[in-house]
Structure 1
Amino acid sequence: MVEGDTALAQGLGIIDGDTFRLAGEVIRISNIDAPEMPPRSRCWAEARLARAATMELQRIRGEGTPGGFRITREGQDRYSRTLARVSYDGGRTDAGETMIARGMASPWTGRRWDWCAAVSDDPNGAAILRSPPSPIASMLEANR
């Protein structure tokens, strides 16, 4: 369901941490880059982070009800997805900025963040954290 530029939670399906579907339209949150879900993820760490980011966007969608997401369309990307700024809480809170603040996305700079560079493999089989956003580092550290 859509009322003007507000998408109610019932009519919205989360695809991943920066993309959702609404009435057949695929919408990408324009101001963030979230980790890619398998099979597009480049490593195990990105796949794990993608699942967490997807769940976080679902939580944000829940925080936005009953007002839903407010969508401000900005154009399309090279994959024909709608690019949009997305807010919730009656339009007062930017969903992308919330994802960044919660460590589930990085600001969109025109290039994908290298989520795999945050983790490397130790010769003994342990994961070594490099420099992901701090909440992501904590999640990876807890799941070693």
Structure 2
Amino acid sequence: MDFLKAVIVEYFLIQVLIQDSKTWEVDLPQKVIGIQDSCVVIPCTFNYPGVEKQSNDITIIWYKYNGNSQYTEIYHKKKNLNALADKYILVGDSRKKDCSLKITNLQKTDEGYYHLRVEIAQLDAFSFITQAAYVSVSGKNLSHSSFKQLS
């Protein structure tokens, strides 16, 4: 019986060590290219230490870097940012650790670095300052009239 207890205790210790070894991680591209007046999606997934949480406990926040250590909050899951609500849309599902962000009506002013912050109720929060996706905006699409008709 002591052997069984020792195996059970060792199992639980290994589980705690594995769980504690998880760190905050984000996976997003270094650069995303979009076409002016269209939209682009920044694909993004994240992971965090500790036990799995319900999606209503996870708050996704996106920032755009303005230079000189200044960031503008462009998306916040729990805040109503009226002026930006149609511009920046979370298309990812936080239950699946998906933080993908859609930027609509791309303009040259949308070029820049985009950073993620994840806040988890009764656990912790983390800002991914050193990891960012750079959004580049290219010129407008060719118009339909610029294509030759096929015969």
Structure with a larger share of its residues in strand: 2
- Give the TM-score taking structure 2 as reference length: 0.24
Q: Which has the larger radius of gyration?
A: 2
Higher helix fraction (1 or 2): 1
